[in-house]
Amino acid sequence: MWKGNRTIAGFNIGDLARRRPERIGEYLSQALRMLAAGRIRANVTEVLPLADAAKAHELLESGASHGKILLTPA
């Protein structure tokens, strides 16, 4: 990673919510604006109907999914 000038960073939203709960709404709004503007993207790898929520959990628990799983109402 050093030679490629790359960084790994993490964010613990649970700790932030505990320490500064008023910030969560601000950060969510900012993230949604950036997503809508195309400045960031969500890596969606699966779109499943809500009826398949159990399958979504299986994919997450098994490590078979490498992105976001969206559940749709229909």
**Do 27 and 48 share a structural domain?**
no
* 63 in the same domain as 48: yes
Instruction: Supply 44's token pair.
Output: 């969606």
Low-confidence ranges of the chain (pLDDT < 70): none
| Same structural domain, 37 and 2 | yes
Specify whether 26 is located in the same domain as 51: no
Rounded CA-CA distance 33/69 in Å is 20
pLDDT, residue 74, reads 75
Same domain, yes or no, for 24 and 50?
Answer: no
pTM over 0.75: no
Structural domain range at position 37: 1-41
Q: Where do runs of H (alpha helix) occur along the chain?
A: 13-19, 21-36, 53-62
> In this predicted structure, what is the pLDDT of residue 4?
86
Residues 36 and 6 in one domain: yes
